[in-house]
Each structure stands twice: as C-alpha cells, then as structure tokens.
Structure 1
Amino acid sequence: MTNRPQRGKITSTPAGDLPRWVRDEIMHTAPKARRDPALIELSNGIDAFASERYGKASHHLEKAKDLAPQAATIRELLGLSYYENGQWQKALQELRTFRRIAGDPMHMPVEMDSLRALEKDRDIENTWDRFRKLDAPRAVQDEARVVYGSYLLEKGRIREAWKVADPGRLVSSPAESTVRRWYVAARIALAANDHQSARKLIKAIAAHDEDFPGLLELRAQLG
C-alpha cells in the first residue's frame, strides 16, 4: 500500500510556488504524461485564488481536475473557488469529494454554509450530526459552530443556537475563529433579549478588534 504524501494547507501556499507536498500528491495521483500539465494548471489556479480571482481560479482548476481527478488539493481549491463565487452546489460536490479522498473534515463548515445557501435543511442537520462525532481541530469546530449556530438563529431556534455557539470563557487572547463564535453568540443573545450577555460579548470582541465586521451593527441593536 502506497503512503499518501503529508498534506499542508493549500490556502497558505505562496502564489506560483508549489510546495513539495503538493507536487508529491500530483505524482501519486496522475499518470506521468499528465503530471506537468496538471501542475501548471494548479499553479495558475493557486495564483488566481490568492488574487481573489475566483472565476479564473475555477477555470484553471477545472483543467487540473480533468488531468488529475484524484488529487485532493485540486478538488479542495476548486471547491473553495466555487464557494467564493457563490456556486453552492458545485462547491458542495467538490468539497465532499475532497473530504472523501483526503479523509479531512476541515471544510465541513463550508459544506454546511453551502447547504444553508441551498436551503437544504435536512442535509445541514445530517452534516452537523456527522461532524460532531469527529475529532476536528478546535478552529474547525469553532467555524462549524458559527455556521450551524447562525442557521439555528435564522430558523428561530434560539435556545438551541445558544447551546451550539456556547461562547465559553471570554479569554484575553482568543483565536480568530473564537471571536467569530463570540459574534454569533452576541447575535443570539440579542435575539433572546439577553442584553447582559450581549454586552459582555460585544466588549470582548471590541477588545480584540475594534473594527470587527458587524460590531457596529451589534452595538446599534444593543442601544
């Protein structure tokens, strides 16, 4: 049995500079004649993605996918490009394929957000139930709670939403994903007319980032 190359984070790859683990992945998954063309298209796709040209990124990554369909990195970045372009169904398909190939749940929050946009409530519930059983990294857990908590809030399921967002202890040096979780929790607290909790959360968010997106709206709602 051939060992899969150790994966890194594709979104942290410098534009136009493919790291060893990406090259190894293509070597393991593509026929010899297709490897160099796949690497060229992938490199162009990463460059476009890093420049937030998601349509162009999709164009190159679709070509890379045709050349190396079993490369998890290609399916991952193609799915994220579709997501950024609002192509929810395509994003969902590619990110599910990425998860199947790589065995990595890191983009399940993006899957759930795509399902929210597609208004597939039962699939959101099922994906959340599957995610809860996995041992995902803390940052991924935070993002999943942000998405699912927001979904429950939209559905008016305030008590459930609060349990999911669960802001925990308001530490002085939070991770970015934790602050996003606090933000959702503050929205839920306001919806529940729990102004005391909302005020504490807003203060904690502001202490971390006074320019956090949505903070002004929260303050306006609090009054």
Structure 2
Amino acid sequence: MSKPNADAVAGHLVAAGLALDSDPKRALEHAHAARGRAARVAAVREAVGVAAYHAEEWAEAITELRTARRISGDPRNLPLLADCERALGRPQQALRMLSDPGVGRLDPETRAELFIVVAGARRDLGQLDAALAVLARGGLDKDRPRPGALRLWYAYADALEAAGRTGEAAEWFAAAAGLDTDGDTDAVDRAAALL
C-alpha cells in the first residue's frame, strides 16, 4: 500500500473510532471508506465489523468479523460474533462460539465476555440453569476475581434473580459492586433492592 493510501486509510479508521460511540452510522461510513482502499487488511475488516456491530448492522458485522478472522486468525471477536447471532434471533449459532477452537487463545476478559453472551443465548432459549452454568465456568471465586469478573458477576447475579434466587442474587450484585470502582453498573442499587 502506498504511503498516501495508508494515510487515507488511517485517517478513516481514526475517524471511525472517534465516531463509534456518538454516531455509529458515521463510523461505519468511515470504515467502509477504509475498506474501499484496503480490503485485504485484517484490521480494516475488523474495524468495519466493529462499526457495523455498533450501528446494529448485524449481518454485515458477522461477514466483516469473519473475514478479519480468516485473514488474521485472531479469535478475539468471538463475543461480538455471538452477540450478532443473538441479535439476528439465532441463539443456537451463538452457543456454538463457545466450542470454537480459538476460545483457548482468548484473553481472560474477552473469554468472560463470551461466557456472558453465550449465557444470554441460553436465556433466550429459556435455559436459565444452563445460563448459570455457563457463567459459573467464567469464574466465581470472590477471593480471586479474574479480569472481566465485574460484568460476569453482574450477569450471574441477574440470572440468579431471574431464577428467583434473590438471596444469592443480592450477594453477587454486592460482589460485583465491590469491583465496580468507577460506578459503571447499578450493582449497588440492584443489591440493595433485593435485601
């Protein structure tokens, strides 16, 4: 890729990243422009997939994230792929992500996110006990929280509450609140409401 083309691609990727949270459709437009200049670059295809995910263009996100993985071999977007399948009403497809051979290569936080999404797919199917089991695989040791524990424990508490196990749910919301130093969740409020 020539330097001017590389600079243009980089500019579009930066613009896509900046617009991702505030204007996902605009972010997707920039990602498309980058793809038009560098369609064989895994990072560009991943950027299009992530922008499409944020813009709720689920089918496009799946196509682009799978293409990025074929190019790079990196499985880090398995949670996004699973979530797209759920959004398209295909929870069974989301469940398959947990048995992908790349799961073992995920960092702990990304693996926790995959457990959360797959547990959500189990809940979509009305399989609450199976959802709890999936979340338990993600790590429920309060003495040694793993990366991603805040979101995982919150999801576990939410599933416990849905199962009518309010005492346990309050306990896990409180545990999640203990990890939530930035106040990103309403775990404190959820715990208090159950006590």
Same fold per TM (> 0.5)?
yes
Q: Which runs of 5+ in 2 are unaligned?
A: none
Shift of 1:160: 0.9
TM-score where L is the length of structure 2: 0.85
Q: How far apart are residue 77 of structure 1 and its match?
A: 1.0
Match of 1:117 among 87, 94, 114: 87
Count residues with an aligned counterpart. Answer: 190
Preserved contact between residue 64 and residue 74 of structure 1 (Cα < 8 Å): yes
Other structure's SS at 1:105 match? coil
Cα distance, 1:182 vs structure 2:
0.4
Q: CA deviation at 1:212?
A: 3.4
Counterpart in 1 of 2:45?
75
- Percent identity of the aligned residues? 24
1:93 to 2:63 alignment: yes
Deviation at 1:220, TM superposition (A): 6.8
Aligned match of 2:74 in 96, 104, 110? 104
Superposition CA RMSD, Å: 2.3
Distance 2:161 2:77 in 1: 29
Sort the Cα spacing of 1:171 and 1:50 in 2 relative to 1 into closer, same or farther, 3 A.
Answer: farther
- TM-score normalized with structure 1 length: 0.75
1:54 maps onto 2:17 in alignment: no
Q: Is the 8 A contact 2:75 2:102 kept in 1?
A: no
Alignment partner of 1:64 is 2:31 = no
- Unmatched runs of 5 consecutive residues or more in structure 1: 1-29
Are residues 150 and 132 of structure 1, via their aligned partners in 2, closer, same or farther at CA, if it must alter by over 3 Å? farther
Deviates more, 1:61-70 or 1:99-108: 61-70
Which stretch has the larger CA shift, 84-93 or 190-199? 190-199
Alignment partners' CA distance in 1, 2:102 and 2:13? 32
1:63 Cα shift? 2.0
2:124 pairs, out of 142, 146, 154, with: 154
Task: State whether residues 80 and 91 of structure 1, in contact with CA within 8 Å, keep that contact through their aligned partners in structure 2.
Answer: yes
